Structure 1
Amino acid sequence: MGEFDLIARYFKRPATRSPLGVGDDCALLAPAPGMQLAVSSDMLVEGRHFLSTVDPARLGHKALAVNLSDLAACGAKPLAFTLALALPGVDEPWLEGFSRGLLALADAHGCELVGGDTTRGPLNICITVFGEVPAGAALLRSGARAGDDIWVSGTPGEARLALEVFRGTIALPADAFDTARRRMEQPTPRVALGEALRGIASSAVDVSDGLIGDLGHILASSGVGATLDADAATALISVDTGNLGEELRRTCALSGGDDYELVFTAPASARNAVGQAGMDSSTRVTRIGRIEADAGLRIVDAAGAPMSQRFGSFDHFV
């Protein structure tokens, strides 16, 4: 099977947002009047971002989900995406599963595949996603202000638990591992929550490299500091962790990556509105800290006592 046969069989489908679909040198996109385009790219490399044993349908889902998560962090509605795919060879069962998982998530969010590229090489997936947001309404990292609450969606830390099982450092009950593995391999992009938070949240970022590290991007961009309740964040882990110590649970909750949840800030006066946004989007949202004028991040326990445990975040080049 040649390159263009591969594209035609597994990825070519009708498109309405670009009149050219996937059959020309460029896609043509135009935002609706009064809207801005939101554009983001993410690359997934085998051995760095995913294991070779991952189910290809789950990998297809995740490849798009991590990009949709970036749109969610800006409060943008998905429109379309391009796919650049390097493959060691033509593996038709793998391609069937990958395209099925990819396009099922695309259909769920009304996000059309409008172009891309394929080539032979080590397995590498790069997606560029396009969304739209009302002009001036995008959620940014730079809007947090002293006195704002810090919120997080979902259950951060469970993806890291699965990774630790794969690394052989911990063991989980079978049901708990299945749940954690699904969180790692098939994350849920919080697109509906991001859209619901427009006009409510003062800043937002998606949690890809760890809660502490990604919150740090908000603090740096906004020129503020924060106090974070480590126990409130750790309590969000819902899977049965057996006899694992609290220190490891905190590390997973605060330093674990691959959650693709949203961490965001909002004025204290907007607590009811944030709760309503969570309900409207069927997403759990939890208040875990506050923004402060003094620079730096202070991590405390439930009683407000500073914690001695140190936390990091993922870095591709460290």
Structure 2
Amino acid sequence: MSDSIILGIESSCDDTSAAVIRGNKILSNIAANQEIHNEYGGVVPELASRAHQQNIIPVVQKSVRKANIQQKDICAVGFTRGPGLLGSLLVGTSFAKSLAMSLQVPLIEVNHLQAHILAHFIDDANLMPPKFPFLCLTVSGGHTMIVLVRDYFDMEIIGKTIDDAAGEAFDKIGKIFDLDYPAGPIVDRLAKEGNSSAFQFSKPRIDNYNYSFSGVKTSVLYFIQKEIHKNPDFIKENLRDLCASVQKTIVEILMHKLEKAANDLQVNEIAIAGGVSANSGLRQAMKDRAEKLGWNIYIPKFEYTTDNAAMIAMVAKLKFDRGEFADLSVSATARYDIEESFKKNSQILD
């Protein structure tokens, strides 16, 4: 079973992606980006679903071709069932169902957030995969959570954002700075050239291991409004320092709760996942904590941080090995409750 060839399809937001995996080795990982959303300052769901319809066949064909296989070699088709934009998910789900039916192979549904976490088990994601149990800070444009991972499908969310996600905060603050969408990578790039101690922004006091980022956004907004009133060119003259200070604030909020969880639970295997795990400030903070606190850290390759089909294929492979297949009546869902998914997987293990 470990050498089974599985196709993974990801279409949860605005990237159409397909990947082929054999065992834990990725043979291909192809993505088509949708730059049309940049001019709107955010993803437009209807435009995203239309672009997925145009992209999905060529992306799958290219992925199969790059993997140097034929469609008849595929043993199963995995796809993102949710969470995500419903229209985008429907395109990937419908295509996956049709392809699995035509090839007469099993269909495997995947939770997008579980896939981000389990991407660490792709052969070349890290020098070595995390050891169980480990904590995974899963942080993206839509989600921010700390997950205790006891096994591949035995996970518990111990903390999550009560409002904005960290990636969402980066993008919204970037909009205040009049940066293009998505602003997160631009803030990261400019932050490298700025003074991270130039400005101070408020940090929330939230119970347990939960997060909040809406207050940071509000703090930045009020600060900018006050400074622009005194100097209309304030943002332009201080952009790099502003980006560096914002990035430092968000990273410190993320790391404070992660460090608390690791200390309380006495876990020193620590991973990050999701689009914001590509952030250089967060990566450096992980390395600093590893040196200071003796953590064993796991930071995935950049190509496995953003939405990609390789992570979908990885989870599909794990589910294939234990015979966990979906019925052709399965439907996409925008709000795929990850905690319910964890419970379902645990019941199957039992």
TM-score normalised per structure 1: 0.31
Structure showing the higher strand proportion among its residues: 1
Higher helix share: 2
